[in-house]
């Protein structure tokens, strides 16, 4: 029994030691060109009434409850969710200008965390828009740091799918 306790304690100590050297922050950034004017693309991101239509995180849990408050495309506009798969959280618009939208992303459950969710919209060619979606936040020690590589892999896939969904949605509205 003592051997088991020593091995288990050593394993935990090793995990804590490894976590101390893993990155303290994460940053995901993905880009896509959408064949649509920037104002249409920005509307679909800045008006959170469209959020569930393109965001893969929200599509994972169709039975989740969503509450949208505030005026679209204005500071304080908020999308809150609660679901079995997606947990509890919210996305709140912080600021918007002619090329950027900045959100605060907050998860309450299953793990409390906050992240910055930033968007850049650049005119690209005639009526195309280059869209960059960036998300960054802290990875608290020790659990979040240990989960960081899995988080990065999952977020990269979700961002790629989200931009493809947004592209289909915007280009469909264009015609």
Which CATH number characterizes residue 68's domain?
3.30.530.20
Number of structural domains (the chain) is 1
Phi and psi at residue 64, to the nearest 5°: -65, 150
Q: How far apart are CA 2 and CA 16, in angstroms?
A: 21
> What is the tens place of the pLDDT at every residue in 121-138?
999 988 899 999 999 998
Q: Which domain holds residue 83?
A: 2-174
pLDDT score recorded for residue 175: 45
DSSP class of residue 112? -
* Coil vs helix vs strand at 86: coil
Q: What is the pLDDT along the chain (175 residues), one digit of tens a residue?
A: 889 888 888 888 888 787 788 788 889 999 999 999 999 999 999 999 999 999 998 888 889 999 999 999 999 999 999 999 999 999 999 999 999 999 999 999 887 889 999 999 999 988 899 999 999 998 887 887 778 788 888 888 999 999 999 999 999 865 4
Q: How far apart are CA 88 and CA 40, in angstroms?
A: 29
Q: How far apart are CA 52 and CA 32, in angstroms?
A: 19
Q: How far apart are CA 113 and CA 107, in angstroms?
A: 5
> What is the tens place of the pLDDT at every residue in 56-82?
988 888 899 999 999 999 999 999 999
């Amino acid at each position: 029994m003592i051997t088991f306790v020593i091995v288990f304690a050593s394993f935990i100590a090793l995990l804590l030691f490894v976590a101390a050297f893993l990155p303290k922050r994460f940053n995901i950034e993905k880009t896509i060109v959408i064949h649509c004017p920037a104002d249409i693309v920005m509307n679909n991101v800045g008006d959170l009434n469209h959020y569930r239509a393109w965001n893969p995180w929200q599509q994972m849990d169709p039975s989740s409850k969503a509450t949208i408050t505030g005026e679209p495309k204005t500071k304080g506009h908020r999308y809150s969710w609660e679901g079995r798969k997606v947990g509890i959280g919210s996305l709140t618009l912080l600021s918007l200008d002619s090329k950027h939208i900045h959100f605060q992303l907050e998860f309450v459950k299953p793990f409390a965390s906050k992240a910055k969710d930033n968007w850049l919209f650049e005119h690209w060619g005639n009526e195309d828009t280059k869209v960059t979606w960036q998300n960054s936040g802290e990875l608290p020690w020790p659990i979040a740091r240990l989960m960081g590589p899995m988080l990065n892999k999952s977020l990269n896939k979700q961002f790629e799918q989200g931009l493809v969904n947004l592209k289909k949605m915007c280009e469909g509205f264009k015609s």
